[in-house]
Amino acid sequence: MLVGLPLNMDGSESDFCLRARKFARRIHGKFGIKVGMVDERLSSFEAKNPNQLKHQKNIRHGQINYRENPIDDLAAVIILQTWLSDQTISMEP
């Protein structure tokens, strides 16, 4: 499982990082699965890019039910792509 890590733009930890890490620990504790923390900086900004929205609407149109405003869905896709392209991100046991 992946959890977005809401770092500040300068790379320092935001106030929400503590909550994200706590959530990841709870998921691991409750389900015993590995959880990776992924830098989510600019994922929502990138998801709002009109080209990204157009591209996503063209992929399997009609097979995926996006909400009225798919920004969070697209940001999650971007976070997953970040993890897939950076295999140095470890999954915590």
Ranges of each domain in the chain = 2-92
pLDDT attached to residue 70: 75
- Segment 43-57, tens digit of pLDDT: 888 888 766 555 555
pLDDT attached to residue 38: 92
According to DSSP, residue 6 is labeled -
Dist. CA 39–CA 53, nearest whole Å: 21
